[in-house]
């Protein structure tokens, strides 16, 4: 019996996320070079956002529960929103993150709390083999 040593790549639209990120940043560089200057800070912010979104897509294809990935995107997007001009102090950013966490927990968390075995008066009636959705 052999143990697999290679994990298949997670593809998005038939491409690896790093290739998609590189293509987007190439377009940003072309726009910056030929149309309108894009500052290094703005390029870094675009790269951060693209990376967060691609990570979320990969996470969604790998796991059943994507709440942590969505929260990571919110956490990455908040500084982008502030740099883009939103007047949010750190307390307001914290409230937005807490509200996102609470909302996602209520919307997506409750179905994941369904027990995998049915117990009535101390007896196991059946074991669920299907995934919790």
Per-residue pLDDT tens, the chain, 133 aa: give them.
555 555 566 677 778 887 888 888 899 889 888 998 888 888 878 888 888 888 778 777 766 667 777 887 788 788 878 877 888 888 898 899 899 888 887 877 655 555 555 555 555 555 555 666 5
Distances (CA, A) of 18 to 1, 15, 90, 125: 33, 8, 31, 48
Per the document, the length of the chain is 133
Q: Kindly state the helix (H) or strand (E) to which residue 24 belongs, with its residue range.
A: helix 17-34
Of 72, 62, 55, the C-alpha closest to 17 is: 55
- 7: in domain: no
pTM score, two decimals? 0.53
- 3: in domain: no
The tokens for 78 are 């908040």
- 120: in domain: yes
- 8: in domain: no
- 132: in domain: no
- 29: in domain: yes
**Count of the separate structural domains present in the chain:** 1
Domain that holds residue 45: 17-127
């Amino acid at each position: 019996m052999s143990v697999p040593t290679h994990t298949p790549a997670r593809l998005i639209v038939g491409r690896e996320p790093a290739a998609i990120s590189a293509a987007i940043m190439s377009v940003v560089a072309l726009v910056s070079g030929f149309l309108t200057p894009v500052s290094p800070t703005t390029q870094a912010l675009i790269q951060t956002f693209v990376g967060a979104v691609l990570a979320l897509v990969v996470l969604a294809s790998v796991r059943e529960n994507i709440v942590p990935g969505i929260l990571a995107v919110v956490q990455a997007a908040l500084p982008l929103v502030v740099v883009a001009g939103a007047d949010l102090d750190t307390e307001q950013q914290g409230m937005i993150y807490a509200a996102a966490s609470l909302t996602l927990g209520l919307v997506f968390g409750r179905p994941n709390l369904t027990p995998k075995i049915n117990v009535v008066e101390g007896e196991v009636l059946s074991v669920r083999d299907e995934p919790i959705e």
